[in-house]
Chain A
Amino acid sequence: MNANIFRHEFRSRFKSVIIWSLSLAALVFFFFALFPVFADQAALMDEFLAKYPPQLRAAFGMNDTNLGSVMGFFSFLFMFVQLCLAIQASNYGFGLVSIEESELTADFLLSKPVSRSQVLVSKFLAALVSLTITNAVVWVVSFMAIALFHGENAYDTGTLVLLLTSIIIFQLFYLSVGLVISLLVKRVRSVTPYGLGLAFGTYILSAFSGVLGDVALEYITPFKHFEASAIVAKDAYNTPLVLLNVAVTLVSLGVSYWLYLRRDIPAVS
C-alpha cells in the first residue's frame, strides 16, 4: 500500500462519492416516505398487483413481495438501490486503472519508485473505501427512513441488517469484475458505457430470469445472488449463490492482479 497513491485516488473520486451517496440517500428516504400510503391501502395494492401478469411481477422481483409490510416494501426499493450501487461500483472498477491509461498519466505514476502491486492495491483500497462511504450512507438512511415512516407496522431489524450487509459483497463483485474486464479488453476509452453496460446488463438478465423462470440465468447475475425479495421472504441468503458470487469476485481479483503485473502500459499513439 502506498499512502500517496491512496490519498490521490481517494481525492480524485471524492466528488463522485458525495454525489452518489446523496442521490442514494434521497432515493431511499423519499421512496420509503411513501410507505405509510402503501401500508394503509395494503389490501387494495395486493389486489391491484394481482391483476398484472405474473411475468411482469417477476420482472420487478415482486412475486413474493408484500408491499404492505415494512420489509416487503423496503425490498422493493432496495432493488433500485442495488442498481445504483452496481453502476457506481462498475464505474470505479472499469476506471481503476484504465482512466490513468486513457488519460496517459500511467507513465507518470509507473515511472515512480512504486511496484505495480503497490499501485493496484492502493488504487483498489481507495475505491473500496469510497464505496464503503456510500454503503455507510445507505445503512444510516435506511434505518432512519424506516424508523420515521414504519408507523404501526412491525419489522425485523435482523432482516434489515441481513439485507444491508449484502451491499458490500455486491459492490465488491462489480468493482472486481469491472476491473478484470478493463484489463482483458485492449483499451477502455470511456468508462461510462462499460459501467452502465455491466450494471444494466446484469439487471436485465435478472429481470429476464424472472420472466422465463429460467434457472441458468440465476447463476450469472448478482441481482439474483442477492435478490432482495427472496432474502426478506426467507430471512436468509441463498448460500450457494452467495458463495458463487464471492468466488467470481475472488477469481476476478486474482486474474486482475496477475494481468496488471504483466501489463504493457500503452504508449501515446
Chain B
Amino acid sequence: MSIIELNKLTKYYGKSRGIVDVSLDVEEGEIFGFIGPNGAGKSTTIRLLLSLIHPTSGSAKVFGKDVMTHGAEIRRDIGYLPSEVYYYEGMKVVDLLKYSASFFNCDCTQRMKELSEIMELDLKRRISDLSYGNRKKVGIVQGLLDSPKLLFLDEPTSGLDPLMQRKFFDLIRAENERGVTVFFSSHILGEVQRLCNRVGIIREGKIVEISDIRTLQQNNYKKVRLTAGGMDAAQFDLPGVTNLQAENGTLSFFFKGDINTVLKMMGSLQVVDVTIEEPTLEEIFMHYYE
C-alpha cells in the first residue's frame, strides 16, 4: 500500500514558486530519500503533507486519506522533525515533551526516558538554555515519542555531531525495522545513500528523477579514469560521455551507454592505469543540477 501519494501537487506562494506538479508514491516500510538543494521545495512538500500550508492545485494523500480533509486524523500517526526546531522558550524539556505527548493517546513516559537516554538529552533543562544541537535532540525525541507509523525528517542531522548522527541513524533504522515508513529530506547525499532505499530528486520545484538508489548508481553512469600513453582527449568525445576532463595525462569522464564502446577505444591505447567505478550519489546529483 502506498503510504504517501502525491498527485500533481503544486504550491505557489503568491507568484513565487514552491513546488510544481510533484507526483510521487512512498510505499509502506521504505525509507524514501528526498534530495535537492536549498529552496528546491523539500520543506514545502513536507509542510503540504502536514497541511501546515494549502496546495494551489493537485492532491496529496497520506494513509490513503486526503491531507486537506483528514489532516488531524492523519497526524495521529505522524512524527515530524522540522529542519529548524523552535519550541516554547520558557518551558523545560520534560514539560514540552509531556505537552507534545498529551496530544496522543499514549503513556509515553517510558519511551521518553529511553529516547532521551539514547540521545543524551537532559530533560530538566530549559529550552532557552539549549544549544542548537540540543534543541535538535529535543526535536528528535519529540518526533519519535508517540511511536508514529510515518516519520517526516526535514534535514534532521544539521547541528548534530557525527557521533550523535550515527546514533540517530541507528534509531531511524530500528524504527524502520519495526515497520515505520520514513520520508527523509536532505541535501547531504552521503546520509541519504547510507539510509534510503529509494530517492526522489527535486530541483527548482520539480521532480527530476525518482528511482531506486541502486539503480541510480548502477544503471546510469560509470565513472572512468584512464591514464594512457599517446591519447587524445578529443578521441573520447563520444556520445554518452560527459564531464570529460584531462589532467596530467589522466582522463576522467562519466559514461552512460554500452561500456564496450569505451573498452574498444581503450584497446587501441597503451593503458597505464584504468578505473571504472560507480559514481557516488554526489556526482550523479551534481549531474542533475547542471
Chain A residues with a Cβ under 8 A of chain B: 2, 4, 8, 12, 103-108, 110-115, 118, 262, 264-265, 267-268
Contacts and interface: CB of A to CB of B under 8 A. Distances in A.
Contact of A4 (B52, B84, B88, B102): B102
A115 B103 contact: no
Interface string B35-49: 000000001100100
Assign chain B's interface to a size class: 20 to 34
A12 B47 contact: no
Given A2-B103, A265-B47, A265-B52, 8 more contacts: A107-B80, A111-B75, A111-B78, A112-B100, A114-B75, A118-B72, A267-B47, A267-B52
B282 interface: no
| Interface of B: prevailing SS | loop
9 contacts: A8-B99, A104-B84, A105-B88, A111-B52, A111-B75, A113-B73, A267-B47, A268-B82, A268-B83
Contacts of B54: 262, 264
A4 B53 CA distance: 23
A264 B89 CA distance: 23
A110 B86 contact: no
A115 B75 CA distance: 10
Contacts of B78: 111
B102 A110 contact: no
A107 B88 contact: no
Q: Enumerate the 4 nearest inter-chain pairs by beta-carbon distance, A residue then B residue, closest first.
A: A104-B86, A113-B76, A264-B53, A112-B103
A199 B37 CA distance: 46
B13 interface: yes
B288 interface: no
A107 B13 CA distance: 18
Nearest to B86: A104
A105 B87 contact: yes
Nearest to A264: B53
A113 B75 contact: yes
Contacts of A268: 82-84, 86
Most B CB contacts (10 A, CB to CB) among A103, A106, A264 go to: A264
Contact of B103 (A104, A113, A267): A113
Contacts of A113: 72-76, 103-104
Contacts of B240: none
Nearest to B48: A264
A105 B82 CA distance: 11
B4 interface: no
Nearest to B79: A111
Nearest to A114: B72
Nearest to A262: B54
Interface in B60-98: 71-76, 78, 80, 82-84, 86-90
B50 interface: yes
Contacts of B74: 113
B103 A114 contact: yes
Contacts of B90: 12
Contacts of B83: 268
Contacts of B142: 108
Contacts of B88: 12, 103, 105
A267 B86 contact: no
B214 to A, nearest CB: 32
B92 to A, nearest CB: 13
Contacts of B47: 107, 265, 267
A107 B52 contact: yes
